[in-house]
Amino acid sequence: MQSPEMHEPMQHEIRGVSIVIPNYNYGRFIGEAIDSALAQTHPLVEVIVVDDGSTDDSRAVIERYGERVTAIFQANAGQNAACAAGFARAHFDLVVFVDSDDCCCPKRPRPSPPIGGRARRSCSSSWRRSTGPVGGPAFAGPNTRMRWPRSGS
C-alpha cells in the first residue's frame, strides 16, 4: 500500500484587504466602524463605505475621512445592493464586510485557503461591538455576528 504524500501547507499571502462598510442612517455609528477599519494591522487596506441613501448625518461623517476611504453615495436600494456596489469597487482578493454599526477586529482579515493550489477571491466577516445594549462591553468573536436591539430603529 502506498503511503499518502505529505504536502507542505500552502501559504496564500494577502496582497491587500478590501473592507466594505454598507451604511443606511447610522451616522451615529459609522465613524467608529470606519476608524476600526482604518486601524487594521495589515499593511495594505482599502476601506470602501457605501452610503445607501441615508437621510441623517451619515454623509457628513463619511466625507470627513476624505481620501482615506472610498466613498460611494447611492440612492436607497437596500443592503444587498450596497454590499454589491462595495464588492464591485474592491481591488483586493480578500473582501471583508463590516456593518456600519459594528467594528472589525484589528488583526482579523485572513485569507481563505486556496482551492486546488489556486488563489481565489474570498469574503470574510468579523464583528465586534464596542458596547452592549445598555452601554456595557460586549464582544462577538471571530466568525460570529452579534445583534443588539436598538430603540428607535
pLDDT in tens, 14-44: 688 899 999 999 999 999 999 999 998 888 9
* 39-48, 89-98, 105-114: least confident range: 105-114
Closest by CA to 69, choosing from 51, 52, 93, is 51
Helix (H, G, I), strand (E, B) or coil at 136: coil
**Looking at the whole model, is its pTM more than 0.75?**
no
Phi–psi pair at 13, nearest 5 degrees: -80, 135
Closest-CA residue to 121 (of 1, 34, 16)? 16
Q: Which residues pair with 23 in a beta bridge?
A: 51
CA nearest neighbour of 102 among 75, 82, 125: 125
Q: Which is nearest to 117 in space by CA: 8, 14, 15, 3?
A: 8
96 falls in which pLDDT band (50, 70, 90)?
confident
Q: Are 74 and 85 in contact (CB under 8 A)?
A: yes
Domain boundaries, the chain: 17-111+118-125
pLDDT of residue 13: 58
> 104, 98 in Cβ contact below 8 A?
yes
**CATH 3.30.565.10 correct for 17-111+118-125:** no
